[in-house]
Chain A
């Protein structure tokens, strides 16, 4: 009940605690309380995908989940994909090479969806890549650079994004 609750969850492998108003969404918790601002808010009605994060390994909309619903869950955000900008993972590096980023507002959510999809199927073909991306809006790139980035990743044989950080024993 009540308007605020204490919650505990794992974010990018780190245990985190917070006191949140029950109406706070997960994306606002991540951004405002944990200051993980790489996850963005573009529409707050589930369509744009900028807020996409992984919860227990599955891509979900951070704007359509209450923070209290993340109690006890493993949350992964774009900040968890690489230790710092100098050490990009293979997918991120292909995004640079193929100019898959322009303003970068949509990018965090897109990388998270692709990460989940590549764990499911490390060798997607173009239509499957486009299906995954279809849950996102990007107004800058026309998506072609992103599609090419994933195709290049697949062609390179580089290992797909590692297993879900939280699932390691």
Chain B
């Protein structure tokens, strides 16, 4: 889908598009209601699926009665595990441990549970009918007999002796145990002037992209092939899973992420049973089948994240120098999930500080809770919270200012590349590529008028008012590999078409990819079209997550664009009887430099380069055939963005309400392709972080039932709750890719819980309140004040 800009796009002072705040080309269609989301697709003859979900978190499925449902007029199929035996293979193991020599164990999951359900909301049967309402009517008529089993609804319960087992074959509920060590932490702790220890809890939460998951599948009998439209963040990964389950070669499974996806934020990067079921049903019915996740389903079945309990200790000297860190934590992985988030947590804890001795120990634990995935931030916000809360505590213990303590421990600007000593989740050593943390913090403090804010705080405190200031700074591993690719070609119309695998969910790739391609090829931004998310358009891709696309696809586009430019000039040189070196691309034509009337339209170049002069003719010797180029970029390691946040807030001690007075964000994600878009990503990230800090919380009772299953019980902040965010950028280009970019998709989120928690504890310092758990809703704050 293309939306050429109506007006010529702005360029930077250097004449390029990279770095210019170009308004997005996606916007016009979305603002006029002409976007194409998965539920909007025109799909003649489509049938509608609905899922029968287990009400129990842990139960053996004894018998499923489908006769009444099948008898309902308009119902086309009701299927259970027994019916789909041909695709009931164990799902392949997810990510291996990135840390050599550590334990990771995978329980075998199937599309439909062959024996027992492992979370409330797990699909046990699927219904297809002529309408969604009818399919839901039929779901009501499916009877399932369960033998209810004891439930483990938290890591603590799952680790208790004699706990019920989520996967019997594993013998216990431990999904992974990963220990990483730097230096000699025990010795450092023993010798240190001071040590501090605290336990922090972070609760589960969902992504709650405004659009839920959704998939439409069509089966073509003649080709024995599927076409699957999927609101996914990772179409190539979905293709791989479907091809595996259906035992088909990749080329007979085409997965297309529709041009518009209503947010992803992590969970849409995973594979789910519904994706396999919809395909199976489309093949069985020989009709397109659609399933759209509703909000209730999102609450009980889409990936969630964040629940961790950290016991953290730091050792430091009298002058406030960090000497050692010990962080031992459990991560609730639910009934299924990847280790991505907790491994990232472990690596995020040390943050921007020099810490010579580290003991990091992660236990990921299976529970009878919904599957986990990454959720915007992917383990990082928890890590930042843990470290930054301890920095606050160290400041308090030494009677130092919170910002001062941080400044004393920051990695200096001249220490890059900086090896932390741990392994990052990409399997490479955790080595910070570039950054300038002292400057970032200094500027953030200056923007927030930090010294003045502290004076005001003192004045207010004297009046009995509770103002708090929170500072949080973090380093964010971004731009993870392994790769992303791009194919660029000059099409018949003389337009450059960029094809890349990762689909956007609001990040504006159609705009940023076109900016990069225009600069790489040397054409106008207006003359570039962008295609994303179609596995038939580009054979390989990884996906949109981990703030990785610009840093992976961007360099690939840059490289392919350079090759395409050479090919264009070579063909044009032939047409113009000039040397390629004497040519330039101006507007939609190639011209001989200095001879403005000797030119040839790009369309004509394409005509020769792609089609030959005319069919049946021989191409002139030595000319490149096919004006296209593809490139795959594989970064040697992740890049590391950084942010520094300052939050100033007031706490009403009587009601526990928080009012944010100022919120300052300093951010360094290397070079920026489009500042407008990067700022938008950060603002959205801050909102998500504030939501984690103050509002949203998933509650599960001991039976594993989600007690907050509507937006009335699971509050997300609205425009009323959001403060105005003041933002600035610092730029330390990344040396690991030619664009010097890092990643920005999650950055806004990371330090927010830490900054808010720090500010609330700071506000309530006269009362001696300890903040160790989020979110800080009014009742929780008030209960803290009252020692409840």
Chain A residues engaging chain B, CB cutoff 8 angstroms: 21, 23-24, 31, 35-45, 47-48, 50, 77-79, 81-82, 84-86, 88, 92, 95-97, 99, 101-108, 111, 129-131, 133-147
| B710 contacts across to A, CB distance below 8 A | 43, 45, 47
Chain B: interface secondary structure? Answer: loop
Q: Is the CB of B133 within 8 A of A23?
A: yes
Interface centre among B31, B265, B507, B724 (most CB of A within 10 A): B31
Q: A148 vs B40: C-alpha distance in the bound complex, in angstroms?
A: 29
For the complex formed, measure the closest distance between the CB of B34 and the CB atoms of chain A, giving whole angstroms. 6
Q: A45 vs B711: C-alpha distance in the bound complex, in angstroms?
A: 8
| A103 contacts across to B, CB distance below 8 A | 30, 209-211, 260-263, 505-506
| A96 contacts across to B, CB distance below 8 A | 23-24, 27-28, 31
How many A-B pairs have beta carbons closer than 8 Å: the answer is 191
Q: Is the CB of B30 within 8 A of A43?
A: no
Q: Is the CB of A108 within 8 A of B719?
A: no
Contact of B122 with A by CB under 8 A: no
27 contacting pairs across A/B (C-beta < 8 A)? A21-B133, A23-B133, A37-B37, A40-B211, A41-B39, A78-B33, A81-B32, A88-B32, A97-B23, A101-B26, A102-B684, A103-B262, A103-B505, A105-B209, A105-B260, A106-B210, A106-B262, A130-B720, A130-B722, A139-B210, A139-B716, A140-B210, A142-B685, A142-B686, A142-B687, A143-B722, A145-B680
Given the known interface contacts A96-B27, A96-B28, A137-B718, the answer about A40 and B262 at a Cβ–Cβ threshold of 8 Å is yes
Q: Which residue of B lies closest to A21 (CB)?
A: B133
Q: Which residue of A lies closest to B504 (CB)?
A: A103
Q: A131 vs B260: C-alpha distance in the bound complex, in angstroms?
A: 28
The residue from A21, A47, A84 contacting B711, defined by CB atoms under 8 A apart: A47
The residue from B6, B26, B683 contacting A86, defined by CB atoms under 8 A apart: B6
| A39 contacts across to B, CB distance below 8 A | 33
| B507 contacts across to A, CB distance below 8 A | 102
Q: Which residue of B lies closest to A127 (CB)?
A: B720
Chain A: interface secondary structure? Answer: loop
For the complex formed, measure the closest distance between the CB of A66 and the CB atoms of chain B, giving whole angstroms. 12
For the complex formed, measure the closest distance between the CB of B309 and the CB atoms of chain A, giving whole angstroms. 26
Q: A136 vs B40: C-alpha distance in the bound complex, in angstroms?
A: 21
How would residues 711 to 725 of chain B score, 1 for a CB under 8 Å from any chain A CB and 0 otherwise? 110001011101011
Interface size for chain B: under 10, 10 to 19, 20 to 34, or 35 or more residues?
35 or more
Contact of B657 with A by CB under 8 A: no
Contact of B236 with A by CB under 8 A: no
> In the complex, given contacts A37-B37, A96-B24, what are 17 additional A-B residue pairs having Cβ atoms less than 8 angstroms apart?
A23-B133, A31-B40, A41-B39, A42-B212, A48-B210, A50-B210, A81-B33, A95-B31, A101-B24, A102-B684, A103-B30, A104-B30, A104-B262, A107-B30, A139-B265, A142-B683, A142-B685
The residue from B33, B133, B208, B685 contacting A77, defined by CB atoms under 8 A apart: B33
Contact of B35 with A by CB under 8 A: yes
For the complex formed, measure the closest distance between the CB of A149 and the CB atoms of chain B, giving whole angstroms. 10
| B679 contacts across to A, CB distance below 8 A | 99
The residue from B36, B263, B294, B508 contacting A139, defined by CB atoms under 8 A apart: B263
The residue from A24, A41, A88, A105 contacting B31, defined by CB atoms under 8 A apart: A88
Q: A35 vs B39: C-alpha distance in the bound complex, in angstroms?
A: 11
Q: Is the CB of A92 within 8 A of B31?
A: yes
Q: Is the CB of A144 within 8 A of B722?
A: yes
Contact of B3 with A by CB under 8 A: yes
Given the known interface contacts A39-B33, A40-B37, A85-B32, the answer about A139 and B3 at a Cβ–Cβ threshold of 8 Å is no
For the complex formed, measure the closest distance between the CB of A136 and the CB atoms of chain B, giving whole angstroms. 7
